[in-house]
Structure 1
Amino acid sequence: MIDVPPGFNWEVMWQQTLHMQDNAYVDAVFILVIFDLVTGSLKAWMPQSKRHVNSTKGLNGLIKHSLILVMIAFLFPLVAAMGLETEANVILVWFVYQYGVSIMENLDVLGVPFPPFLRERFEKMAERSDKLIKKDDHDEN
């Protein structure tokens, strides 16, 4: 038998796993991951994209997104069963934010118009992203 921490209850964990389908944050993360994959793939085909279609980068992206979804699917019920559902939801909100930003960057490259105040914010983020991409490309060579 597996040793579990005192007070841990497998039945509570199973109920938390079933309760995930009622959590709007979990749903939002799963939907945003799919939308990010779609918009990122479309962006890679655009001539103005900084990163073009590349099977290695695409596979790495699929692996990264899949690992995030698996991590959420297994860790959320565990953390919630330990009585830390609020903290687990905070982490999910962070993922929603990160994927939302990524999707908006993808949509910007695809030519979707944004209000000027959002565009200014994205230009600042794009400058930081460009620096990271250049560093990443330099490290790969």
Structure 2
Amino acid sequence: MKQMLVKIAVVGIGGTITAYFNALLVPVVLLAAVMVMDYISGIISAWKDGCLNSRIGVVGIVKKVCYLLAIGVAIVTDLVISQALAKIGVDFTSSYLFGIIVTIWFVVNELISILENVNKIGVPLPPFLIKVIKKLKDTVENTNIQEEK
């Protein structure tokens, strides 16, 4: 009975979060997948180079946790802007704009890192793939959000 209640609670909380953050669900799940792939490919690359180090591995995990913190800040920024605009009567229909942009930017960075790790391991990569990933990064970095000067 206790296990059933825990399962119901987890599913309920998970369902609520999924419904609330529906726009971010796919990018965040994708980010989680590429973070795991990057970590594994980094370990293999370091092992192959003979420089496998647990301290560097922990730093890698901390870095990935900080990615999630940055996404959280972006989501809070989206919510604050949305609430502020609603208070002054402006309808802001684009939800989680910053959250999605930041998440995709991290996904692209992770993809680049995976390609670098795979290349260090000795896997030949097609040049077009590297160009496409770098173009994605440039596109995400050059979105139409004006930078403060």
TM-score by length of 2: 0.56
Unaligned runs of 5+ in 2: 1-15, 83-94, 132-149
Q: Percent identity?
A: 26
The equivalent residue for 2:26 is: 24
> Deviation string for 1:72-102 (max 9, x for gaps)?
3x33542332336112211111111111100
The equivalent residue for 2:62 is: 63
Letter in 2 for 1:93: I
1:80-95 aligned at under 5 Å gives the runs 80-82=78-80, 83=82, 85-95=96-106
Do the aligned residues in 1 keep the contact of 2:74 with 2:102 (CA within 8 Å)? no
4+ residue runs over 4 A deviation: 15-18
1:17 positional shift: 7.0
1:56 positional shift: 1.6
1:118 positional shift: 4.8
Between Structure 1 and Structure 2, how many residues are aligned?
Answer: 102
Distance in structure 1 (CA, Å) of the matches to 2:107 and 2:61: 17
Unaligned runs of 5+ in 1: 1-14, 122-141
**1:36 aligned to 2:38?**
yes
Higher RCO, Cα 8 Å, sep 6+: 1
Letter in 1 for 2:66: L
Evaluate the alpha carbon distance shift between residue 109 and residue 21 of structure 1 in structure 2; reply closer, same or farther with a 3 A threshold.
farther
- Of 108, 114, 118 in structure 2, the residue corresponding to residue 97 of structure 1 is 108
- Of 72, 75, 93 in structure 1, the residue corresponding to residue 73 of structure 2 is 75
Do the aligned residues in 2 keep the contact of 1:16 with 1:80 (CA within 8 Å)? no
Letter in 2 for 1:81: L
Please report the RMSD computed on the Cα atoms of aligned residues, expressed in angstroms. Answer: 2.6
Do the aligned residues in 1 keep the contact of 2:27 with 2:104 (CA within 8 Å)? yes
Do the aligned residues in 2 keep the contact of 1:33 with 1:65 (CA within 8 Å)? yes
TM-score by length of 1: 0.59
